[in-house]
Each structure stands twice: as structure tokens, then as C-alpha cells.
Chains A and B, each alone.
Chain A
Amino acid sequence: MTFLGAFAIFFAAIFTNNILLTNYLGMCSFISVSREIKTSVGLGAAVTFVMALTSAINWAVYHYLLVPHLVYLRFIVFIVVIAAFVQIVEMIIERVSDVLYAALGIFLPLITVNCAILGVSLFMVIRDYTFIQSFAFGLGSGLGWMLAIIAMAGIRQKINKSPIPKGLEGAGITLIIAGIMAMAFVGFSGMIAIG
């Protein structure tokens, strides 16, 4: 049952409860890095990796250290854990592979301040997920975020040559597209219920 639950949460996090398009989290890097599909894939992969692992680490920190008396400290503790984790991952990638570092490394500092990462850890607490479910939720949310940014990059590459009103160029049109995408994703809602 737990396993099935985790599976459902994984898919729900990608489609019905996409953290970017239904919760509108992680907007900053979503808008600034979605100009090209190639860089979007890089950032998406890095976000997925960090989200999956930090949700697992934060689950352990929350349940073994903060419960029962100190749950109000979760905001600070989660942020600190995420920041430290990202730093160490960056060092490891740099050491192990220059090519992977060139592809992912530049995005890692951006991720430290990506609110979607903190959002995943906080939802996991609110929805009272088990460890497996939290990991599945983190992984699914990361993939969902990646899906959304790649879709956005595809659209932005297409509209590059389109006549866009001057005032809407750049972030303006991107926000409108994100809104339309979010509406499209509403079509998935209700298929799977989580939390």
C-alpha cells in the first residue's frame, strides 16, 4: 500500500500537482533560464537531483530531530540543509567530472535559492508523507518542474521569431504563457488525489 501510495504521489507530483504550474513555486529561475531547451534540461536535471535528495534528508532531519517540540524550526533548518547539500554536491561534481560540472555546475547556486525545493520539503511535512513517499514526491516534483521548464523553453524558442508587443517581451510574455500552461494542467486535476 505504501509503495502504491508513493507511486501515485510520484505521478501526481509530475502532472496533477505540478509544483511549478499549480503552486507557482520556483518561478525566478523558471523565467530566467527558460530561453533555450538545452540549458533548461541542465537546470531541470539539477533541480530534480537536489529535490529528490533534500526531501529525503529533510524527512530524516524533521522526524528524528525536530519532532515533537521543535517543528517550528523547520523553515530555518530545511534551508540550511538545502544550502549545505547543494554546496557539497557542487564540489563533488567539480571534482569528478569537468564536463558534468560545465553542464550542471553553473545552475547549482541558482538552486540553493529555488523556493520550489523548500516548498517540497514543507509539503512533505504538511501532508505527513512517509520516507518513501517523501522521496517519491521530491523526485516527481523535480521531474514535473523539469517538464514545465522544458515545455516553456520549447515555446519560447518558437515564439522567438513571432511579433510580440514591445512591452511584453521577455518576462511579460513568459508569465502569460506560464498562466496558460497552468490552465492546461488543470485538466489533469482530480485524476489522482494526494494530500
Chain B
Amino acid sequence: MLTELLSAVGILSAVSAVLSLLMVIADRTIANYGEVTLIVNDEKKFTFQGGRSLLSALTEQEIFIPSACGGRGSCGFCKVKVLDGAGDYLPTELPHISAEERNENIRLSCQLKVKKNMRVEIPADLFNVKQFRGVVTSIKDLTYDIKEIVIRLVDPKEISFKAGQYIQLQTPAYDLADEAVYRAYSASSPPSQKDTVELEIRRVPNGICTTWVHDYLKEGDEVLMNGPYGEFYLRETNRNIVFIAGGSGNAPIKSILMDMAEKNIKRKTVYFFGARTSKDLFLQEEMRVFEEKLADFTYIPALSDPVDEDKWEGETGLITDVIDRRLDMGEETEAYLCGSPGMIAACIKVLTAKGIPEELIYYDKFA
């Protein structure tokens, strides 16, 4: 009885063991394509275990190829030009590939497996940019003509960007636009807040996107955007910092200030914010809080046309005049400017006159 029981266990284990061994051997030999090298645009070179789809290999290297169906071969978006290393076309690719594309070796990257060294060509603008789907969770008035909108990211759920960079918001076709258009807005939220993006959007008379945001967009609406883009971010040096902004140009500066507070950056910093009247000022409290949070930070708002009811006691005059009066940081200073092209050009003149070299003046021009 005992021997029978033992032999049952023994045989079952033996059969399982032999089969497992066979599987392991098969996995190591048949399914082992070894290390393969993927060369993208003859610049980037990646090495990984072969046998997976080109799409997933590229995604792992953070190169995002558009793919609406998620790699099931039904949307046909994930086309990539393969220069060499691919076999024949698969039946699952053919419905999406035209004769013209066949001549150019355009392949469906979700179906194509990388089994040997491969060379592919990808449009350069696909490298860093991602498309995001999000839901508007709040819209609030900062001033009579600037709204702050908060977008919670749905897919992908998180964004990584540098404080100061911008995204492009899609405006769908509506009364003022025949087709969807994209407009750039800087994030005013800090990079540590990965699941939502906050934007400050000022109404531009007859502006396609701003009119849509101010008059049509509601909380709960779904929006599309892509990004991040831009070279407007804080350089890692020990120089003093001057921020200059007007209107919704505050957004990237606010993001950078929050980032500095979180990272405990103790550089001497001054922020000039230009507005016409006190109606155009916003987030004053938040800026004052930074004076306490940051080691050495001064906030200088300036009104160019204060009216009597403003009871304004701060700086008055054009922002350039105020900078000229108040800025005294020496030559070891970097400047970050965000506003209209006219304001930026005028500020650059003042700053260079103060001895700040032009190559240390960074700006985002909003036409």
C-alpha cells in the first residue's frame, strides 16, 4: 500500500520534472534569440533579449510610437520603417500596409518580433513626446481674464517634466475652429505632482484655444494634450536668479518656485511680476508664502497703471523701470523671462545693461 502510494507520487513527480526540464531546455534553446541590438535612426543603440515585439522593445526604451489598440494589430498606427533585420510581412500586418508602404519597408511594430539585430527609422519628434488623456477636475478664475485649469491625467496616469516646461493642449473642432488644433501652455504645477497638470490660461480676444477654454470647457470634460516640451527650466548652477513675468507668464515661474521649495534650493532669488492694475494681480498670497519657504526670495509685483481704488503701495511703473531701480544682484545672475515678445525684448535690454550676459537670459515667448 505504502509502496503504491510512493510510486504514484514518484511517477507523477518524475513526469512533471521531465516535462519541466524539457520546457526549460526549450526556453533556453528554441526560444532563446540571444542578445539583439536595435539601432534607432543610426544614433541610439539598445541591446536586449530578442523575441519580443518591436513596439514593446521601443516602449521599454521610452520611445513612444502611437498605438491606439495597445498592440493588438487592429489600429494600424504603430508603423515604423525597418531598414534591416525583419523577415517577411506577416498576415496580421498586411491589412494595414499599402503597396507604397511595402516598398519602403514600413512595418507594423506591434506584430513584428525582434529576433536578430535590427535597424529602424523613427521620426525624431516622436522621441520625447507623449500623448496624454486627462479629465478637467477644476476651473477657477484667477483674475477676470485668467483661468486656472487642473487636469487629472488618465492615460498615461503620470507625466514627468522639468519645472518650466510646457505641454500642448488640444482644442477640438468647434465654432471657431474647423479642426482640432494644439496650443502650448506651461505647467504651473510642480514636477513632483505627477498625476495632475495645472495650467494658467489668459483669454486672448478671438483666440481659438483660449476662447474654448474660457467659454466652452467644463469641469469633467476630457482633454487631450501632448508634451512635455521646451528649454525653459532652471539651470543647475549656483548663480543668483531673476524671474520676470507678466500675466499668465506666471505659470512656469510658479512651477519652478514650487520645485525649488521642494528641493530646498537656497539660491538668492527675486521675482518681478508686471501687471496693469491690481485687477490683474493673482496668487499674491501664494507668492508671499514663498518668501518664507525659500531661503532668500523676494517677490516684487509692479503695477504700470494703478487706479485710485487699487490703494496700491507697491512698485509702480513699467516693469523695465522697476527692474532698473530694484535689481542689484551683480553679474553672477541668471534670468528667466516669460511673457509677451515685446516685454521680453525690453527686459533683455535692461538686464544686459545691468551686466547679465545674454547667454544667461532664458525665456519663453508667448506670441
| Residue positions of A touching B, CB distance < 8 A | 61, 65-66, 69-70, 73, 76-77, 80-81, 84, 87-88, 91-92, 94-95, 98-99, 102-103
| Closest residue of B by beta carbon distance from A94 | B31
Determine whether the beta carbon of B30 is less than 8 Å from that of A91. Answer: yes
Determine whether the beta carbon of B11 is less than 8 Å from that of A66. Answer: yes
Report chain A residues within 8 Å CB of B26. 87-88, 91-92
Report chain B residues within 8 Å CB of A61. 15
Determine whether the beta carbon of B16 is less than 8 Å from that of A80. Answer: yes
Determine whether the beta carbon of A103 is less than 8 Å from that of B91. Answer: yes
Q: How far is the CA of A69 from the CA of B11 in the complex (A)?
A: 11
Instruction: Find the residue from A66, A76, A77, A102 having the highest chain B CB count within 10 A.
Output: A102
| Closest residue of B by beta carbon distance from A38 | B91
Report chain A residues within 8 Å CB of B22. 84, 88
| Residue positions of B touching A, CB distance < 8 A | 4, 7-8, 11-12, 15-16, 19, 22-23, 26-27, 30-31, 51, 87-88, 90-92, 111, 113
Q: How far is the CA of A102 from the CA of B113 in the complex (A)?
A: 11
Question: How many contacting A-B pairs (Cβ < 8 A)?
Answer: 54
A152 → chain B, closest Cβ, in Å? 22
Q: How far is the CA of A81 from the CA of B51 in the complex (A)?
A: 25
Of the A-B pairs whose beta carbons lie under 8 Å apart in the complex, a sample of 19, sorted by A's number, is A65-B11, A69-B7, A70-B8, A73-B8, A73-B11, A76-B12, A81-B19, A84-B19, A84-B23, A87-B26, A88-B22, A88-B26, A91-B26, A92-B26, A95-B31, A98-B87, A99-B90, A102-B90, A102-B92
| Closest residue of A by beta carbon distance from B112 | A98
Determine whether the beta carbon of A69 is less than 8 Å from that of B15. Answer: no
Report chain A residues within 8 Å CB of B4. 69
**DSSP majority for the B interface?**
helix
Q: How far is the CA of A102 from the CA of B11 in the complex (A)?
A: 37
Partner of A92, one of B16, B30, B91: B30
| Closest residue of B by beta carbon distance from A98 | B87
A81 → chain B, closest Cβ, in Å? 7
Partner of A102, one of B8, B15, B91: B91
B48 → chain A, closest Cβ, in Å? 17
Q: How far is the CA of A3 from the CA of B31 in the complex (A)?
A: 38
Partner of B31, one of A76, A91, A99, A103: A91
Report chain A residues within 8 Å CB of B15. 61, 65, 77, 80-81
Report chain A residues within 8 Å CB of B92. 102
Report chain A residues within 8 Å CB of B23. 84, 87-88
A-B interface, 8 closest residue pairs, ranked by CB to CB distance from nearest: A84-B19, A102-B90, A91-B30, A91-B31, A88-B26, A98-B87, A102-B91, A102-B92
Partner of A98, one of B12, B19, B113: B113
Determine whether the beta carbon of A95 is less than 8 Å from that of B30. Answer: yes
Report chain B residues within 8 Å CB of A80. 15-16, 19
Determine whether the beta carbon of B90 is less than 8 Å from that of A77. Answer: no
Report chain B residues within 8 Å CB of A76. 12
Q: How far is the CA of A76 from the CA of B91 in the complex (A)?
A: 37
A160 → chain B, closest Cβ, in Å? 19
